Structure 1
Amino acid sequence: MLKLVKMTAEMFKKYQATAVKAYAAEKVKAGTWQKDEALQRSQLAFQSLLPDGFSSKNNYFYMIQNNTQPVGMVWLAQYHENSDKAFIYDIQIYPDFQNQGFGTQALKLIATQAKALGFKSMGLHVFGHNKRAIHVYEKSGFQPTDISMEKDL
C-alpha cells in the first residue's frame, strides 16, 4: 500500500545534496541556464526557497513508500504567490519503480495531504522535455496554466 511518510532531517540532507545538482542539470537541458552557472544558480534557488533548510516554514517533505519500501519523495509547499495553493516543488519516483503507477497514486495521496493542510488547489512545474511526467500530470487532472515556448535560431 502506497503512503506518504514525513521525511527526517537526515533524509532531507541526502535529498538536497542530489536535488540541487539534478535541478541544475534539468535547467541546462531545458536551455534555461548555461552549464557553467547552473550549479550556483540552483544553490541560490534552493537557498531562496528554503532559507531555513528542512525547517523552512510552510514546506513539507515526504517519502513515498510502498509498504516499507521507499519508492520516491515529494517536496510540497505553500505557493509564494497564493497562500491557498500548494505547490509541488519536486516529486520523484525512483528509476527502479517508474512505470508501475506509483506516480499517479502518489499524486492522489499528495492532493489528499494538501487538502488536509488547508490548501484549495495544487500546482507544479514540469520541464517541457519531460513528456512522461506531463502525461502523468494531465492524467491526474493537472491543466496547463502558463506555457513558455522557445525556438533555436
Structure 2
Amino acid sequence: MDAQKVTLRKMTPPEYDAATEHREAETARELGKFMPEELARERAHQGTAQFLPDGLDTAGHHLVVAENEAGEVVGNAWIGPDPRRAAGTAGSAWLYDINVFPAFRRRGYGSAVLCAAEELVVREGWTSLGLNVSGDNEAAIALYRRNGYDVESMSLRKSVRQAPGINS
C-alpha cells in the first residue's frame, strides 16, 4: 500500500462542534471506567473549558481536519502546548486528540495525520510532540510505535477491595 498523504486545515465551527462532542464522549467513556458516568461527562466538559477557553480560536492551539488527496476529510487532530510544561516553556507540543473517521481506518491515514501533525509542530518551532494513550487502546499504541513514539512514563492502577472483617 502506498503511503497516504493528508493536508491539515483549521476546523470550521461545525467541524469543531462535532469534534468536541466526539472527544468529550470518548473522554467520558474512558473516565467512566474509574468514576460515575455523570462525573465523567462533567470532567470531560471541564477539560474542554480549561484547555480551550476560546474554543476554536484558543491561542497556541491548532484544531485541524485532515483532508486526503481527493479532498475528503478523513479525520481531525488537536495540537497545542504541552500541558505538563510551565506556560511559556518552549519546545514541547502535545497531541491532545487525534481521530481517523471509521471509513478511513486501517488504510494508513493515522500515520498520515501524525506525520502532518509533526510537520505543523516543526513549523511552530516546537521540538517534540507528546501524547497520552489509554493502556487498553492497542490499535493506537501500535500506531504510535510504528511511527517512532517511545514510552516516556507509565501509570498503572489496580482496583482493590477491603476484605470482609478487616476494619480500617
Q: TM-score, normalised by structure 2?
A: 0.84
Shift of 1:110: 0.9
Number of aligned pairs?
151
| 1:152 alignment counterpart | 159
Shift of 1:13: 1.8
| 1:49 alignment counterpart | 51
Correspondence list, 1:73-112, <5 A = 73-80=76-83, 81=85, 82-112=89-119
Shift of 1:138: 0.9
Is the counterpart of residue 62 in structure 1 residue 64 in structure 2? yes
If you compute each CA radius of gyration, which structure gives the higher value, 1 or 2? Answer: 2
| 1:26 alignment counterpart | 30
In structure 2, runs of 5+ residues without a counterpart are: 161-168
Tell me, in whole angstroms, the C-alpha distance in 1 between the residues paired with 2:41 and 2:94: 23
- Look up the equivalent residue of 1:119 and give its one-letter code: W
Tell me, in whole angstroms, the C-alpha distance in 2 between the residues paired with 1:64 and 1:112: 13
Deviates more, 1:6-15 or 1:84-93: 6-15
- Look up the equivalent residue of 2:36 and give its one-letter code: Q
Q: TM-score, normalised by structure 1?
A: 0.92
| 1:15 alignment counterpart | 19
Tell me, in whole angstroms, the C-alpha distance in 1 between the residues paired with 2:158 and 2:108: 33
Identity %: 25
SS in 2 for 1:74: strand
Q: Cα deviation per residue 1:37-67 (whole Å; 9 max; x = unaligned)?
A: 1111111111011111111111101111112
Higher helix share: 1
Is the counterpart of residue 131 in structure 1 residue 138 in structure 2? yes
Shift of 1:26: 1.9
Tell me, in whole angstroms, the C-alpha distance in 2 between the residues paired with 1:73 and 1:129: 22
SS in 2 for 1:100: coil
Deviates more, 1:19-28 or 1:129-138: 19-28
Tell me, in whole angstroms, the C-alpha distance in 1 between the residues paired with 2:45 and 2:104: 28
Runs (4+) of structure 1 exceeding 2 A deviation are: 31-34
| 2:121 alignment counterpart | 114
Tell me, in whole angstroms, the C-alpha distance in 1 between the residues paired with 2:34 and 2:132: 14
